[in-house]
Structure 1
Amino acid sequence: MHQFDRVISEILARRADASAKRAVLVGISGIDASGKGFITEKIAKRLQESGSRVAMINADDWLNLPEVCLSRHNPAEHFYEHAMRLDEMFNRLIVPLKEKRSISLLAECADAKTTVYRKHLYEFRNIDIVLVEGIFLFKPSYRDHFDVKIWIDCSFATALKRASMRCQEGLPPAETVRAFTEIYFPAQGLHFARDNPRASADAVLSNDPSM
């Protein structure tokens, strides 16, 4: 059986074993530009084909604004500590949705290109499986929330090539390279050293033809 099929089978098995009163929570994490969103959509499609009601949540919507998450002083450490509003995301959205299977939440969301928050309505009903994708999800503070944790394997070189091609974060190619090599990837290095997210995962999926 292909590893992707094993992941789908594991998620469905967890759903079958879990209480019908709650949703099953799946985390998909990896380095920046590893293809987390792409893989999450593939997983969602397969689960929906099986008859499951699926909610997809992108943790990037819970970025802090640049004035908070970026700093010229020790930029990688600062980004590792302050990039995401994960406490708020889990407390207000993820945990209630997991426990109740439904939620209606108007939240202030952001992305790497914005300087002000935008309103976003999360409206989910009778959800079977919640897929959350994003960076830093498998820090020790959050990993135990997940029923299934999936790590997306991708080298820094491949991720940088992808980010540069699509001008990730809305930056010109040269600025994209600088942001990834000076901030995002060093912050992931801290994540690896302190949290060992790959080892904490239940499954690893490769999204890098060079690996």
Structure 2
Amino acid sequence: MVRLVINAHTGVPNTRALLVGISGIDASGKSFVSAKLANALRSNLLNVALISADDWLNLPEVCINPENPAEHFYQHALRLDEMFTRLVVPLRNQRSVDVLADCGDARATVHRKHCYNFRNIDVVLLEGIFLFKSGCCGHFDLKIWIECSFKTALERAIGRGQEGLSRTETIKAFQTIYFPAQRIHLDRDDPRAAVDYVFQNDEL
């Protein structure tokens, strides 16, 4: 995978950065794999910006709807348009960016301010769920899917106390909201068919 990214970087003009999307279902290991990849690329003297789409989650009052949890989360989990418009596309095109954004996470009740300050970036690694929706794929130079079964992902989420929930709460949230929403994504957008590389990450 490291060589894949390095080779792709040689094909883009030096006036802009290579944009790599790394996606998969919740708890598939996207963050872990992305961090390892970023370190490996830096070892090859590339200046890397690692961005988590989770920082662009909507607050629970916006993205959670008990009446239609899966479809609503699929549609409203992330502020993707704002993230691409304000941060990701300018960084890809100009290699540098200075953006103050409202960020959050799955447990946040209010947004926090976060300053993205990147200079002379060679490779942008953007990791998160739903990145390969049909309207987003065109932004990326390289798309990587982290393949992981729902069973393994749930075991990982329980093991690390995903979202700060108890075991029972984690199972309920993943089985009623997150995984059903991602099945919608798999059926509607077929992200596996859109990517350049599938990384197998089903081992616990």
TM-score over 0.5 for the pair: yes
- Give unmatched runs, 5+ long, in structure 1: 1-6
Distance 2:18 2:194 in 1: 18
Q: Following superposition of structure 1 onto structure 2, how do residues 51-200 of structure 1 map, counting pairs within 5 Å?
A: 51-200=45-194
| Per-residue deviation, 1:209 | 2.1
Tell me how far 1:46 sits from its aligned partner: 1.1
Map 1:10-25 onto structure 2 (within 5 A): 10-25=4-19
Using the size of structure 1 for normalisation, the TM-score is 0.95
Distance 2:134 2:71 in 1: 17
Question: In structure 2, the residue corresponding to 1:141 is in which secondary structure?
Answer: coil
Can you give the 5+ residue segments of structure 2 that lack an aligned partner in the other structure? none
Percent sequence identity is: 58
TM-score by length of 2: 0.98
Residues 86-116 of structure 1 show CA distances to partners (whole Å, capped at 9, x for unaligned) of 0000000000000000001110001001100
- Distance in structure 1 (CA, Å) of the matches to 2:106 and 2:142: 27
- CA separation in 2, counterparts of 1:16 and 1:31? 29
Aligned residues: 204
**Aligned position for 1:42:** 36
Distance in 2 separating the partners of 1:174 and 1:17: 48
Deviation above 2 Å: which 4+ runs of structure 1? Answer: none
What's the secondary structure of 2:10's corresponding residue?
Answer: helix
- RMSD between aligned alpha carbons? 0.8
Q: What residue identity is the alignment partner of 1:185? A: F
